[in-house]
Amino acid sequence: MKTIDELLAEGVAGKRVFVRADLNVPLDGTTITDDGRIRAVLPTVAKLAEAGARVVVASHLGRPKGAPDPAFSLAPAAARLGELLGADVAFATDTVGESARATVAGLADGQVAVIENLRFNPGETSKDDAERGAFADQLAELADVYVGDGFGAVHRKHASVFDLPARLPHYAGYLIATEVGVLKKLTTDVQRPYAVVLGGAKVSDKLGVIDHLLERADRILIGGGMAYTFLKAQGHEVGSSLLQEDQIPAVREYLRRAEEKGVEFVLPVDVVVAPAFPDLKTKAPAHPTTVAADAMPAGQMGLDNGPETNKLYASKLADAATVFWNGPMGVFEHPDFADGTRAVAQALVDSPAFSVVGGGDSAAAVRILGFDENAFGHISTGGGASLEYLEGKTLPGLAALED
């Protein structure tokens, strides 16, 4: 993999450099609630600009349906990037159309532009190679060189991640180099006991990692939206909680294998429930109650780990030597459901373990809840990406950067 330092040594002045970033930041309307992913790509963008490149930054945001949708515009992220760089950042209101072409053509050496959300074009995420390729061809017209630095999206076989680097000279940015360096340690010389905490909402995306973790981890703690498929698999009522019904047989098999292998599986013993998903805009009181995990009332939704679970999880993390954590323990964006996530973050701060926190929302959660980033071993910008890296899978966005 060629690195950005090699690109800089070759000289970039006057070249149009396409930086595939992951600016998929949490938004409250148009307000960015955590800019960690923007700050993470700053070294790459700043260095290229300083060296006189014409920098074209591109990213996805959220999961729009292949068409423009103002709720998923990258305009707020572009504005924040400008603030952080201390320079004007141009913004193209489309991805490969007239605005993008004119914006890029208008860049002077050392200037930066952001183009609109890549997922506004169906070609970005298409499963059809030709459709993705056609979109990558259009993106390639905007640049002379490609720098991959969107670590959070390297597990996606998407046009800008996988197909575009094949069309341009390609290099890995600073963020990808750092992320891979840290995560590699967890796959080679991990210090034991090794505990993994899994939560969040992308349950179907992430359950598969457990298969691999059963061979690596000593302890697996499950929380967040992930917990209810496990509780259901054990025969408990989970009301209207997030549930991956089709994965129940697989989850039963994980629990059986864990017992066979002596891997400790830790599930919530109590959970915080409410009648409905809370309003994250108004943060109106959500009427939570705490119930035993094996006695959830029908019609209620599990939205956080309960206080007994929080104590249990803290005790399971206290003596770990290495901890990897992906996925909040509850809907931390609402104050009624933030305690589980806060408790795990606090346990990691208190523990001497080398801790890696991975994921857009997980990393945002620890910062939003007021924890000092430096209290953790590494805060990764990738959730699904870091999990798939740990699984040993070939990640399309890293494979595409190989020479």
Ligand X SMILES: Nc1ncnc2c1ncn2[C@@H]1O[C@H](COP(=O)(O)OP(=O)(O)OP(=O)(O)O)[C@@H](O)[C@H]1O
Ligand Y SMILES: O=C(O)[C@H](O)COP(=O)(O)O
Q: Which does 173 bind (CB under 5 to 8 A by kind): ligand X, ligand Y, none?
A: none
Question: Active site residue: 15, 37, 54, 132, which one?
Answer: 37
Choose the binding region for ligand Y from 149-157, 193-201, 268-276, 302-310 (rule: CB under 6 A).
149-157
CB of 336 or CB of 388, closer to ligand Y = 388
Q: For residue 116, give both structure tokens.
A: 């609109």
Q: Which does 200 bind (CB under 5 to 8 A by kind): ligand Y, ligand X, none?
A: ligand X
How far is Cα 344 from Cα 359, in angstroms, rounded to an integer?
Answer: 15
Q: Cα separations (Å) of 285 from 203, 289, 330?
A: 26, 12, 16
Question: Active site residue: 148, 358, 383, 384, which one?
Answer: 384
Question: Active site residue: 340, 360, 382, 383, which one?
Answer: 360
CB of 353 to ligand X, least distance (A): 19
Binding-site size for ligand X (CB under 6 A) equals 23
The answer to whether 239 contacts ligand Y (rule: CB under 6 A) is: no
CB of 124 or CB of 336, closer to ligand X = 336
Closest C-alpha among 356, 335, 360, 333 to residue 345: 356
CB of 359 to ligand Y, least distance (A): 6
Query: Can you say whether the dihedral through the CA atoms of 115, 121, 123, 126 is positive or negative?
Result: positive
The answer to whether 24 contacts ligand Y (rule: CB under 6 A) is: yes
Does the annotation mark 257 as catalytic? no
Q: Which residues are annotated as a binding site?
A: 22-24, 37, 60-63, 119, 156, 206, 302, 333, 359-362
Q: For residue 237, give both structure tokens.
A: 């009522």
Please pick, from the candidates 28, 63, 98, 204, the single residue that binds ligand Y as defined by CB under 6 A. Answer: 63
Kindly state the greatest CA–CA separation across the chain: 65
Residue facing ligand Y at closest CB distance: 24
The answer to whether 328 contacts ligand X (rule: CB under 6 A) is: yes
Q: Which residues are annotated as a binding site for ATP?
A: 206, 302, 333, 359-362
> Do strands 27-28 and 31-32 pair parallel, antiparallel, or not at all (unpaired)?
antiparallel
Identify whether the C-beta of residue 151 lies closer than 8 Å to the C-beta of residue 176.
yes
Q: Is residue 264 helix, strand or coil?
A: strand
Binding to ligand Y, residues 113-142 (CB under 6 A): none
Q: Which residues are annotated as a binding site for substrate?
A: 22-24, 37, 60-63, 119, 156
Does the annotation mark 384 as catalytic? yes
Please pick, from the candidates 123, 278, 359, 397, the single residue that binds ligand X as defined by CB under 6 A. Answer: 359
CB of 17 to ligand X, least distance (A): 25
The answer to whether 153 contacts ligand Y (rule: CB under 6 A) is: yes
Does the annotation mark 202 as catalytic? yes
How far is Cα 286 from Cα 10, in angstroms, rounded to an integer?
Answer: 57
CB of 328 to ligand X, least distance (A): 5
Q: Is residue 148 helix, strand or coil?
A: strand
CB of 63 or CB of 184, closer to ligand Y = 63
Query: Can you say whether the dihedral through the CA atoms of 63, 179, 82, 132 is positive or negative?
Result: negative
Helix, strand, coil abundance in the chain, percent, nearest 5: 45, 15, 40
Determine which helix (DSSP H) or strand (DSSP E) holds 32, and give its type and residue range: strand 31-32
Please pick, from the candidates 167, 185, 202, 212, the single residue that binds ligand X as defined by CB under 6 A. Answer: 202
Closest C-alpha among 107, 131, 111 to residue 121: 131
Q: Is residue 323 helix, strand or coil?
A: strand
The answer to whether 173 contacts ligand Y (rule: CB under 6 A) is: no
Cβ neighbourhood burial of 97 (10 Å; 0-12, 13-18, 19+): middle
Identify whether the C-beta of residue 320 lies closer than 8 Å to the C-beta of residue 351.
yes
CB of 20 or CB of 216, closer to ligand Y = 20
How far is Cα 281 from Cα 29, in angstroms, rounded to an integer?
Answer: 9
Closest C-alpha among 80, 13, 76, 81 to residue 48: 13
Does the annotation mark 311 as catalytic? no
How far is Cα 50 from Cα 314, in angstroms, rounded to an integer?
Answer: 45
Q: Which does 153 bind (CB under 5 to 8 A by kind): ligand X, ligand Y, none?
A: ligand Y
Q: Write each residue from 146 to 165 as x if it is in contact with ligand X (CB under 6 A), else as -, in one continuous string.
A: ------x-------------
Residues with active-site annotation: 37, 202, 360, 384
Write out the residues near ligand Y by the rule CB under 6 A. Answer: 22, 24, 63, 152-153, 156, 360, 383-384
Write out the residues near ligand X by the rule CB under 6 A. Answer: 152, 199-202, 224-225, 242, 302-303, 326-328, 330-331, 333, 359-362, 382-384
